């Protein structure tokens, strides 16, 4: 409950629908209206994107539309208060930050005509176009929640809104809970789907990529020590299988670094090869890069190029710097709005917490290897670290461990014990600690992670988004 008050206050969320659903609670179709420092309105839409993982999508007015009013100060205030009373009435939270709107750029959420403005240029009440970040999974629940959220936006916030006004769907990445609904939405709205170039093949040719990926994953799981007979079951539980999602054409591919009016794109790989984040003023939409409560899922880069611990940590560092830059430039902390869980109000600190959490997990893995009498396979480590008895999580657990093993290997801290067998037979790789000097090992890891000064909240980083607890 405390979380709710703080979040609402800090983001000036208005209206009676203000509820920060944040954690993994049901989020069916709920909407929050959030306003950035400069007055951009962002709708946060809750949807049941996966049975075990609620998600958030974000909708805002076309960021390339020029600010619609040169009127600053008193005039802008007047427009707001007149129209605001009509449009949002008693729902509007009278917080200090709503009064800040005198300085707001009027990005299309303001008055309709010039009638009251003493000749000021025309301003539109409602934006004619909207952009949407991510598309949900395309499951019945996800689609129904989106539809209900669209209705809420029209009925309670913006009478002029209609789904057909969504012109762009920008994907943070091509995991099914983010892109699976894109084709249906594109057909319904006529919107273009944009994604990073490295994700576009999955989006536009899902079945092809699912088949390619499953063959690769088969070898990966065998190498991890999974019995061949069990592999199809594990892959099925993971669910990256042909027919699971509908492909959709990608109208424009991005690389990160593009600017579309007020919107900036950032290439932040690690959780996926072409993961993007989108910054609008003092708010950044971070997809799955950084979550408020849990550690995001990671994969080994040899299974999926440009993922892995190393790329992930580098992207977190970049995000931290974006946060620091924002604070220096506009005097407000960057607010990260993730695709799951609650908004993050102190990005650099949350990054430090996550990095610490990663470090702790690596430490546990390292300790397991140390305690073990025999070298261990990836599967054996996964079972000791994570086993939750839920078969649909096995692939996540094995991938997580494989990513950490890969990273520790990159640092020269562990070695493959049975390397002499692998060219003749096809056994699982067995790992052992290769560092005799524990202190030197710790230093090496610390150098890479280089964290200090985080407000440490161990409990908040020990859960895992997909593993649901260790």
Q: Which residues bind Zn ion (CB under 5 A)?
A: 175, 288
Cα distance between residue 133 and residue 59, in whole Å: 6
Cβ distance to Zn ion smaller for residue 288 or 380: 288
* Of residues 87 and 196, the one with the C-beta less far from Zn ion: 196
Would strands 252-254 and 31-35 be described as parallel, antiparallel, or unpaired?
unpaired
The smaller minimum CB distance to Zn ion, of residues 22 and 39, is found at: 22
C-beta closer to Zn ion: residue 202 or 234: 202
Neighbours of 439 (CB within 10 A): 8
Q: Which helix (H) or strand (E) holds 77?
A: helix 74-87
Quote the least distance from Cβ 369 to Zn ion, whole Å.
28
**C-beta of 145 vs 199, nearer to Zn ion:** 199
Tell me how far, at minimum, the Cβ of 175 lies from Zn ion, in Å: 3
Find the helix or strand (DSSP H, E) in which 195 lies.
strand 192-196
CA-closest candidate to residue 111, choices 129, 72, 84, 89 = 84
**Shorter beta-carbon distance to Zn ion: residue 290 or 342:** 290
Sign of CA dihedral 230, 385, 217, 375: negative
Smallest gap from Cβ 177 to Zn ion, in A, equals: 7
Residue number, 48 or 175, with CB nearest to Zn ion = 175
CB of 304: closest distance to Zn ion in angstroms? 11
CB 320 within 8 A of CB 290: no
What length is written for the chain? Answer: 470
Residue nearest to Zn ion (CB): 175
* Least CB distance to Zn ion at residue 53 (A): 9
CA 104 – CA 57 distance, rounded (Å) = 24
Specify whether the CB–CB gap between 13 and 34 falls below 8 A. yes
- Parallel, antiparallel or unpaired: strands 259-260 and 53-61: unpaired
**Is 84 or 273 the residue whose CB approaches Zn ion more closely?**
273
Least separation in angstroms between CB 297 and Zn ion: 7
Measured CA distances, 443 to 110, 312, 349, 387, 448 (Å):
55, 20, 22, 29, 9
Which is closer to Zn ion, CB of 63 or CB of 270?
270
Closest listed residue to residue 110, CA positions, set 154, 168, 158, 162: 158
Nearer to Zn ion, 53 or 251 (CB): 53
Q: How far apart are CA 459 and CA 381, in angstroms?
A: 22
Rg of the chain taking only CA atoms, in angstroms: 24
Q: What is the closest distance, in whole angstroms, from the C-beta atom of residue 176 to Zn ion in the complex?
A: 9
- From the CB of 211, what's the least distance to Zn ion, in Å? 20
Report in angstroms how near the CB of residue 315 gets to Zn ion at its nearest: 13
Neighbours of 415 (CB within 10 A): 15
- Tell which residue, 42, 272, 266, 284, has the closest CA to residue 177: 272
- Please, what is the minimum distance in Å from the beta carbon of residue 239 to Zn ion? 13
Instruction: Please say whether the dihedral angle defined by the alpha carbons of residues 233, 271, 288 and 169, taken in this order, is positive or negative.
Output: negative
- Residues contacting residue 321 through CB under 8 Å, at least 6 positions apart: none
């Amino acid at each position: 409950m405390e979380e709710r008050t703080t979040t609402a206050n800090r983001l000036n969320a208005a209206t009676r629908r203000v509820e920060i659903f944040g954690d993994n609670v049901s989020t069916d179709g709920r909407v929050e209206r959030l306003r950035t420092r400069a007055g951009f309105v962002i709708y946060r839409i809750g949807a049941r994107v996966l049975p075990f993982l609620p998600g958030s999508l974000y909708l805002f007015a076309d960021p390339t539309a020029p600010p619609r009013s040169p009127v600053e100060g008193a005039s802008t205030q007047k427009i707001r208060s007149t129209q605001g009373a009509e449009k949002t009435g008693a729902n509007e939270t009278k917080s200090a930050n709503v009064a800040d709107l005198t300085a707001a750029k009027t990005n299309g959420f303001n008055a309709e005509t010039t009638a009251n403005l003493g000749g000021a240029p025309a301003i539109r009440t409602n934006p004619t176009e909207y952009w949407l970040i991510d598309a949900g999974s395309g499951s019945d629940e996800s689609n129904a929640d989106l539809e209900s959220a669209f209705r809420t936006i029209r009925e309670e916030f913006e009478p002029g809104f209609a789904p057909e006004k969504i012109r762009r769907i920008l994907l943070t990445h091509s995991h099914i809970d983010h892109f699976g609904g894109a084709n249906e939405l594109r057909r319904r709205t006529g919107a273009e789907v944009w994604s990073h170039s490295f994700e576009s093949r999955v989006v536009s040719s899902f079945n092809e990529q699912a088949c390619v990926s499953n063959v690769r994953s088969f070898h990966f799981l065998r190498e991890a020590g999974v019995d061949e007979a069990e592999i199809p079951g594990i892959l099925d539980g993971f669910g990256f299988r042909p027919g699971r999602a509908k492909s959709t054409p990608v109208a424009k591919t991005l690389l990160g670094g593009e600017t579309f009016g007020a919107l900036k794109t950032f290439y932040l790989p690690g959780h996926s090869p072409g993961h993007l984040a989108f910054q609008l003023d003092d708010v950044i939409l971070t997809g799955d890069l950084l979550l408020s409560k849990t550690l995001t899922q990671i994969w080994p880069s040899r299974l999926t190029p440009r993922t892995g611990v190393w790329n992930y940590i580098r992207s977190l560092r970049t995000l931290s710097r974006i946060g620091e830059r924002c604070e220096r430039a506009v005097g407000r902390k960057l607010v990260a709005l993730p695709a799951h869980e609650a908004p993050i109000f102190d990005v650099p600190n949350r990054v430090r917490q996550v990095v610490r959490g990663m470090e702790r997990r690596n430490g546990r893995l390292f300790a397991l290897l140390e305690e073990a009498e025999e070298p261990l396979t990836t599967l054996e480590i996964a079972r000791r670290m994570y086993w939750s008895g839920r078969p649909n999580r096995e692939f996540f657990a094995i991938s997580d461990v494989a990513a950490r093993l890969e990273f520790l290997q990159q640092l020269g801290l562990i070695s493959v014990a049975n390397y002499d067998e692998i060219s003749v037979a096809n056994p699982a790789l067995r790992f052992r600690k290769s560092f005799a000097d524990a202190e030197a090992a710790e230093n090496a890891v610390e150098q890479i992670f280089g964290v200090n000064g985080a407000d440490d909240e161990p409990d908040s980083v020990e859960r895992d988004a997909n593993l649901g607890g260790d």
